[in-house]
Amino acid sequence: MKKRYMEIVIVLLVLVSIITAILFVVFRNRNNKATMTNTLLYDASDAVELAKKRLSKDKDQAKVITDIKTTEKIVALTFQGLSDKETNKKILELMNRHERKGTFFVPGILAAEDDETIAAMYKNGHKIGSNTLKGSKHLENYSQEELVKDFALANNIIETWTKTTPNILLCNSTDYTSEILQAAFASGNEKVVKSTHFLNYQSFKNYEQVLEYITGIENGAIITIKMNGVLDETEYNPEKVTAKPDHVSGVVNSNSEEYLKEEERLLIIIEWLLKALDETRYKSVFVEDLDLYYDTDFDRSFEKSRIGNQGKPAKVYKRISTDINGIAFTFRGIENENILNEILKFLEENKLNATFFVTADEIINYPDRIQKILDKNQTIGNGGMTGKDLTSMDFDGICLEIYKTHMILKEQFNIDTNLFMPVYGKYNDNVLEGASSLGYNVVTYSKNPVTNEIASLEEIMGYYNNGFRKGDIIYFNLNFHSEIVDVIKQTYSLIGEKTYKVCSVPTLLTYETDTEILLAKDNKGSSNPKNTTGKTTTGKMTTDKTTIDKTTKGNDNNSKDPSDGKMEAITRKHFEKLRKNNKGKKAKEIKTIYTTEQALSYTFYGINNTEVLEDVLEKLSLLNAKATFFVTEKDVKNNPSEIKKIAKLGHEIGICLNMSDGTDFYSICQSIDRIQKEVEKLCRQKPNLVRYAYDVELTDEMLEAISSSGCMVTWQDLTLATSKLGKDATLEDVLEFGFNAGNISARRGYIIYFRMDYYSNPLLIGNLMLNIAKERIDTIAYHDNIAGNGSSYSIKSLGSLLSSDKVYSYPVSSKDILASVKDAIFPGHLEALETTQNFEYIRGRYIGNPNVNSQTTLPGFNDDELEQLNQIGRFTEDKVLFLTFDDWGSDKTINQILYVLNKYDIKATFFVRTNYVQYNPNLLRAIAEAGHAIGSHTDGHLPFAITTTVETEDDTSAIYTSPSEAEIKERKEDLTVSYQKLQSIVGDIQVNGIPALTKIFRPPTLAMSREGMEAIFDMGFQFIVSGDFSTHDYEETNADSLAKTLINGINLNDGTIRTLHNGSVLVLHMSDDSIVPTMKEDVTAKALDIAIPQLIEQGYRFARLNDYLSESSMGINPLEQSIENEIME
């Protein structure tokens, strides 16, 4: 019986165990269903192994995307996680209703559980990114192997339902370490998002809170909506205006007193958010496209302007000293359109003119209101970029506020003002210096009647009990008081009673007393004097059309001059006067703009082809580009609406002349005058850039006429319309015609000319624009994990490029070339030396190479002399490295090298082969302006040791001989040409008081000869530097491999490794990796980006050769120095 009992117990225990196990499995599956699903359905083993392989092979990192700086009113909408199916569906419906797209970051497990939602997101045009496998937090604590498995499996699940591998990743509450970024990149996530604006179902209590939040958010922000749960501490950041949880138990339903569920509250928050974005006119963009909108002006330094200004403060106008009975009305704040309309109507009815000081934000948000102000003949002044208090900003921040508004006014409305009003009229020394540095005067006010928003109208008017004075500037904030319109009207009534006239600030300044003395004072020492009066000079801010008689008093209305608005009679006498004042000068013809700004220009002709024009304008908008459109007299007559539209979109209008309209002085002047006046009427631009539709040779008389009219001629670097191809040419035909192996990339200052009236395919020009931007401009930028890193090129109008402070004169004027540089290379520097002294002279100035150490590679020297020559290729034991770059290349290669060097604040030495440098002087000057040293690498790459068997410039296995006398002469002439070219581009540039152009020479080959060295030093070069570490980077195709060479050393033929030493001179190259455009980073630039941080960690610093190489540092004896000084004298 006992035995039977024990059997029953055992059976029961087994059954209980089985049931427990089953329940455990069921429970586990219920709570981790997706994990099982992943295991059974989503085999990512291959993806994991591939990611591991990539990770072991290279250390590329995913790019971190975060908020950007931009003046464009954009945000990126992102969603973190998922809610329940029904809520997800309703969120997608809300997005569709408001015509918004976003990026949904979904954990892999949730994607597997709710594949219907994933498919719906994809179908509706949203982007889907990874939120890791489980939406885990603090991934910085994971190993790279764990990260790769997590990322790869999440990607695999999402790809199953979208057919696209997500290339973007969002990690929750995680610090993005280099290990995480490497694992992400290896797993296929090329970008990771770092958001600083998080919202959830608790964030707001009502719509007003949402609207206030969106109104205060910065342009370019990433808004992340958490689809479930509360915000973590890391997700609430007050400094970034992240919405703080409302901390109420629930949001009250408008239809009942019941509290809502979390999902219902989430839907309300999202609907409020989308409504607020619509109301504030924010555009939403995909987060992965956010860096396309980055505005590089936010990286601009104004130090150069500050130095040039020499500390002068701007003139401040609180009241204007004038001898007329005039008072200026000034306004700020155009947000309330109804109030603005009332003010404009009042000003128009009473024939008054005032000045509206507007911010960049207002220009961007309300361009139609700016145009309305201009249409009513009111004037516009600069109110700063954001309308924030400038007194708490640093110098660069102040300048950016003024500069950015100036440029937007110029680009969008062709307004070129020099009057700035700081918010609240507040300023300090920094504000005045910043304004002056940009050529601005500061306007505040002598009267501000409305300082209390709840004051009664009677109380406000009591402010004027002390009366008015001529020259008063009265300030009104249109957003501050509910009765502001009545305040302005009654103020005007009081002014009329006191016999004063109301006008704008520029008009009042026209009658400023002692104006000439003031101008002379303000312009003293200024490199770019401005007209302090605000009157029209050459495109500066125009006065309004009010004319005030200095003798008039009483209650007369502000009346217009009887001749105002009437076209001046175009007479021969008028043009003769222009000709006389021009003094025979010929207009400048520009084929490329000499500037170091990272920008180029698209120019167009043929606006009569409206179908093509519409497509071109659309493409320019997509490219965020501004262009120049040249119009004829016929265009002005037949296509006025097109001209208005072009100008309204911020593009520039130029003048296109026709040969058939005459080529004599007076015919050309008449044509220009008519076009200028008609264009100015249409869009308030006064064009001063002239061209013909096709290339013509202009006579001196034609150029004199253009100059007398205040214009210049612009042509192009590249024209994409040619009869060689015919009107039915394809995109491929035109690209093949326009670009070749020697013309891979666009260039700084490049002018590209498109004829919209030529090709039969109406979409061809637009497609050309996009293709060139993608293949020839965007490829110039260096892509790392720094958003908006400043390496990209932009497309600007000709006028914008020409007005930049980066413009210079080429060739450099002889009088501007530094004395120590000017014509320093010429034969005869060794004439004063005895023949026996030549070797001593060479010995102290030659830095060789370890592989060049015998008479076969250094012919002309005996064994004893060879032992005395520098064969190690170094000249200091300091822990310093010298980066040197040889030859020449395209904007892509050199721009990327410059970016990487600047990224680590490193200065280098560039040895330029000059045979093509004259075709791209802007690039060479950019190198020098960036603080690098420039040296010659010859013009024709002629060697100074001769062999018939050499295969490469680094070949040291051949037998070399000395050049003949004729060959020496040829090489000396080559050196002269090379130096003269360099001098003509950078001869005026100094870096910390030292000329950028050095007399350090890099020979074309490692092998040299005694006769060759004597020829080089006889020409005036001070040092010949080969260097010890020749990288052969021009043969390398893999950046990681080259980086390893830089870090670990060069594998020599004998099996040894040559490593870097203190003082090593690294030989790299500027030549292009490919003869076709590619988005892949330049191998040399990328390798340096990898290697430099590690070399810095090893304790190395970097310097230019001329930071160390000098006569004294190399132990040049006093006799040699005195002889050299004598020669120079």
Tell me the per-residue pLDDT of 1073-1099, one tens digit each, with 9 for 90 and over: 888 888 899 999 999 999 999 999 999
* Domains 45-294 and 814-1127 are alike in CATH topology: yes
Least confident span in 259-263, 335-339, 397-401 = 259-263
Instruction: Please state, in angstroms and rounded to a whole number, the distance separating the CA atoms of residues 506 and 134.
Output: 64
Does residue 248 come out as left (phi exceeding 0), alpha (psi in the -120 to 50 range) or beta? Answer: beta
pLDDT of residue 41: 53
In the three-class reduction of DSSP (H, G, I as helix; E, B as strand; rest coil), residue 167 is classed as coil
DSSP sequence for 803-828: TSTTB--SSPPGGGS-TTTTT---S-
Q: CA-CA distances (angstroms) from residue 6 to 3, 15, 17, 19?
A: 5, 14, 16, 20
In the three-class reduction of DSSP (H, G, I as helix; E, B as strand; rest coil), residue 192 is classed as strand
pLDDT of residue 1113: 61
Q: Would you say residue 230 has pLDDT above 80?
A: yes
- 45-294 has CATH 1.10.10.350 classification: no
pLDDT of residue 537: 30
pLDDT of residue 779: 95
In this structure, what DSSP letter does residue 773 have?
Answer: I
- Name the residue among 1114, 1125, 935 with its Cα closest to residue 1021: 935
Q: Would you say residue 378 has pLDDT above 60?
A: yes
Position 21 confidence tier, pLDDT thresholds 50, 70, 90: low
Position 895 confidence tier, pLDDT thresholds 50, 70, 90: very high
pLDDT digits (tens, 9 = 90+) for 32-61: 444 434 444 567 788 888 888 888 888 889
Range 864-872 contact pairs with CB under 8 angstroms and sequence separation of 24 or more: 865/839, 868/839, 868/843, 869/842, 869/843, 870/843, 870/846, 872/848, 872/1028
Instruction: Please state, in angstroms and rounded to a whole number, the distance separating the CA atoms of residues 69 and 359.
Output: 16
In the three-class reduction of DSSP (H, G, I as helix; E, B as strand; rest coil), residue 655 is classed as strand
Q: Would you say residue 280 has pLDDT above 60?
A: yes
pLDDT digits (tens, 9 = 90+) for 176-192: 999 999 999 999 999 99
Listed in order, strand segments (DSSP E) in 334-492 are: 355-358, 379-382, 419-420, 441-443, 473-477
Does residue 243 come out as left (phi exceeding 0), alpha (psi in the -120 to 50 range) or beta? Answer: beta
CB 339 within 8 A of CB 450: no
Q: Which helix (H) or strand (E) holds 495?
A: helix 484-497
Rounded mean pLDDT of 773-783? 95
Q: CA-CA distances (angstroms) from residue 179 to 143, 215, 786, 1054?
A: 8, 37, 16, 37
pLDDT of residue 751: 97
pLDDT of residue 4: 57
CATH match for 814-1127 among 3.40.50.10090, 3.20.20.370, 3.40.50.300, 3.40.50.620: 3.20.20.370
Position 439 confidence tier, pLDDT thresholds 50, 70, 90: very high
Domain boundaries, the chain: 2-31, 45-294, 320-523, 585-782+792-802, 814-1127
Rounded mean pLDDT of 74-87? 94
- Name the residue among 122, 139, 123 with its Cα closest to residue 131: 139
Q: CA-CA distances (angstroms) from residue 336 to 362, 478, 850, 924?
A: 11, 8, 76, 51
Q: Which residues contact 606 (CB under 8 A, 6 or more apart)?
A: 612, 613, 693, 755, 756, 757, 758
What is the token pair recorded at 984?
Answer: 């003509």
Query: Which residue matches tokens 């904030």?
Result: 477
Q: Would you say residue 28 has pLDDT above 60?
A: no
**pTM of the entire predicted model:** 0.55
Query: Which residue matches tokens 């099996």?
Result: 1055
Q: Which residue has the higher pLDDT, 944 or 724?
A: 944
320-523 topology per CATH: TIM Barrel (3.20.20)
CB 745 within 8 A of CB 1077: yes
CATH match for 585-782+792-802 among 3.30.70.100, 3.20.20.370, 3.90.1150.10, 2.40.110.10: 3.20.20.370
Position 497 confidence tier, pLDDT thresholds 50, 70, 90: confident
The sign one gets for the Cα dihedral 732, 737, 742, 744 is: negative
- Cβ atoms within 10 Å of 610's Cβ, excluding its own: 15
Instruction: Please state, in angstroms and rounded to a whole number, the distance separating the CA atoms of residues 316 and 519.
Output: 14
pLDDT digits (tens, 9 = 90+) for 1098-1126: 999 999 999 999 876 665 543 344 444 44
**By CB neighbour count within 10 A (0-12 exposed, 13-18 middle, 19+ buried), where does 454 fall?**
exposed
DSSP sequence for 50-114: HHHHHHHH----PEEE-----SS-EEEEEEES---HHHHHHHHHHHHHTT---EEEE-HHHHHHT
Least confident span in 405-409, 519-523, 594-598 = 519-523
